[in-house]
């Protein structure tokens, strides 16, 4: 599931008015719109729908939309009311509706103000298996430098689809193992020393996160309906992502043409670039609409898709090249400093907390089950 930055981005794209025109980020013409993010697939739920309201572009923030009645329906007359598990986040139950290949599904939303929103029914297409996902050591130009940065470029190939008109969307989740720069030796707080007798406790972490990259492809113009060696994202050696072990979970979605066009239109803008100054006018069309007012602007998308998954691991063979933490050996006034904050020590000097606690970089100290 994509994060809310997708839909802040959509708002920016919708406000573009003309070629090479800068967006005025401070405007008194802001109109609030509803943002919908949701998906149902052929994989077991629970399925999640997130509903929020847009904020002014000069003050972007996530504004959850609570109190809605959210319903997923299928073409056989079955339905399920989702439960709001946190502000603006609605979920099906663990034993609730299960997406089935060949069935069609729609989303319905009733707001506290009495408005009703819906999508048309969309079919879950026949899934296509992923054949291979692999990585190749390559070099990319470093922006503003004459140096080439080493890293891994990922590629993907599919099995042959059943239809010549097959539309693919790919999203990825990465997991990587890394360590803090140093093992924690001791801490000092309010003049009291504490010593860490198990220095590995905060030293090794695993971090899992959804990548912002989205990739699309279609087989319409291909003689054989399959994708071969599709180039994907690049992971360079300038962070700890390639320090020890790296894993990718690829998710391949088969969607209808309209859904493909939605993700194809925004994929490049999700992967990078200057969103404030765009080359041409751009409109992202949602499949969610106000049933009583087709003129109302709604952002986001409710995706109906079949999904296939494949996980790979790589043990990096290239050295990482990140800037290591500084050790401060000038220890004057440390007791006075410790009266206001906890101080951390590695070896013979003081360091920032993130230098000895790997969790500060977003990871967890518990090894994933699949590792």
Tokens at residue 142, please?
């470093």
Task: Decide if 250 is inside a domain.
Answer: no
11-20, 38-47, 182-191, 239-248, range with the lowest pLDDT: 11-20
Q: What pLDDT shows up at residue 144?
A: 62
> Mean pLDDT across the stretch 193-213?
87
Tell me what the pLDDT averaged over the chain comes to: 86
Task: Decide if 188 is inside a domain.
Answer: no
Is the pLDDT confidence value at 20 over 50? Answer: no
> Mean pLDDT across the stretch 180-186?
92
**DSSP notation for 231-282:** EEEEEESSSGGGSSEEEEEEEEEEE-HHHHHHHHHHHHHHHSS-SSS-SS--
26-35, 105-114, 237-246, 357-366, range with the lowest pLDDT: 26-35
Task: Decide if 353 is inside a domain.
Answer: no
At 18, give phi and psi (nearest 5°): -155, 165
pLDDT tier for residue 242 given thresholds of 50, 70 and 90: very high
- Domains identified in the chain, total number: 1
Identify the residue with better confidence: 145 or 110. Answer: 110
CB 119 within 8 A of CB 301: no
Closest CA relative to residue 363, chosen from 220, 226, 179: 179
> Which of 30-39, 194-203, 250-259 shows the highest mean pLDDT?
250-259
Is the pLDDT confidence value at 130 over 80? Answer: yes
Q: What pLDDT shows up at residue 331?
A: 77
> Mean pLDDT across the stretch 315-338?
87
Domain assignment of residue 82, given as a range: 5-125+269-305
Task: Decide if 67 is inside a domain.
Answer: yes
Q: What pLDDT shows up at residue 278?
A: 35
pLDDT tier for residue 52 given thresholds of 50, 70 and 90: very high
Q: What pLDDT shows up at residue 329?
A: 85
Task: Decide if 176 is inside a domain.
Answer: no
Task: Decide if 324 is inside a domain.
Answer: no
Q: What pLDDT shows up at residue 270?
A: 65
> Mean pLDDT across the stretch 126-139?
96
Task: Decide if 196 is inside a domain.
Answer: no
Closest CA relative to residue 111, chosen from 91, 84, 78: 84
The rounded distance, in Å, linking the Cα atoms of 163 and 171 is: 22
- Contact partners, residue 121, CB within 8 Å, separation at least 6: 73, 75, 104, 105, 106
Is the pLDDT confidence value at 70 over 90? Answer: yes
Q: What is the 3 state secondary structure string of 317-369?
A: CCCCCCCCCCCECCCCCHHHHHCCCCEEEECCEEECHHHCCHHHHCCECCCCC
20-24, 155-159, 282-286, range with the lowest pLDDT: 20-24
* Interval 261-312: pLDDT, tens: 999 988 776 654 433 333 333 456 799 999 999 889 999 999 999 999 999 9
CB 237 within 8 A of CB 159: no
98: left (phi over 0), alpha (psi -120 to 50) or beta: beta
Is the pLDDT confidence value at 7 over 60? Answer: no
* Interval 78-125: pLDDT, tens: 999 999 999 999 999 999 999 999 999 999 999 999 999 999 999 999
pTM over 0.75: yes
Q: What pLDDT shows up at residue 29?
A: 63
Give the residue carrying structure tokens 């072990």: 245
Task: Decide if 255 is inside a domain.
Answer: no
Closest CA relative to residue 189, chosen from 325, 337, 304, 26: 337
């Amino acid at each position: 599931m994509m994060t809310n930055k997708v839909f802040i981005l959509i708002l920016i794209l919708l406000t573009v008015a003309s070629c090479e025109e800068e967006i005025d980020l401070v405007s008194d013409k802001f109109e609030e719109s509803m943002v919908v993010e949701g998906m149902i697939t052929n994989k077991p739920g629970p399925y999640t729908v997130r509903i929020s309201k847009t904020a002014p572009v000069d003050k972007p923030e996530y504004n959850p939309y609570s109190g809605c009645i959210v319903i997923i329906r299928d073409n056989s007359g079955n339905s399920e009311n989702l439960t709001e598990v946190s502000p603006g986040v609605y979920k099906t139950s663990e034993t609730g509706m299960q997406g089935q290949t060949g069935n069609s599904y729609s989303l319905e939303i009733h707001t506290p103000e009495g408005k009703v929103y819906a999508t048309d029914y969309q079919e879950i297409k026949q899934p296509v298996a992923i054949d291979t996902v692999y990585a190749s050591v390559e070099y990319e130009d470093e922006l503003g430098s004459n140096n080439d940065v080493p890293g891994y470029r990922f590629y993907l190939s599919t099995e042959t689809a059943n239809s010549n008109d097959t539309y693919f969307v790919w999203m990825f989740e990465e997991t990587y193992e890394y360590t803090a720069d140093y093992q924690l030796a001791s801490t000092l707080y309010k003049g009291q020393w504490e010593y860490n007798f198990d220095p590995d406790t905060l030293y090794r972490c695993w971090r899992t996160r959804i990548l912002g990259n989205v990739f699309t492809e279609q087989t319409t113009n291909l003689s054989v309906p399959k994708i071969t060696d599709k180039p994907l994202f690049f992971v360079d050696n300038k962070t700890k992502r390639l320090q020890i072990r790296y894993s990718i979970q690829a998710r391949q979605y088969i969607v209808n043409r309209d859904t493909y066009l939605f993700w194809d239109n925004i994929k490049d803008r999700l992967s990078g670039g200057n969103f404030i100054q765009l080359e041409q006018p751009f409109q992202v069309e949602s499949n969610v609409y106000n049933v009583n007012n087709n003129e109302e602007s709604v952002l986001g998308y409710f995706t109906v898709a079949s999904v296939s998954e494949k996980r790979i691991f790589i043990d990096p063979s290239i050295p990482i090249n990140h800037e290591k933490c500084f050790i401060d050996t000038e220890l004057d006034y440390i007791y006075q400093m410790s009266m206001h904050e906890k101080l951390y020590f590695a070896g013979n000097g003081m360091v920032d907390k993130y230098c000895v606690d790997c969790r500060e970089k977003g990871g967890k100290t518990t090894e994933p089950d699949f590792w």
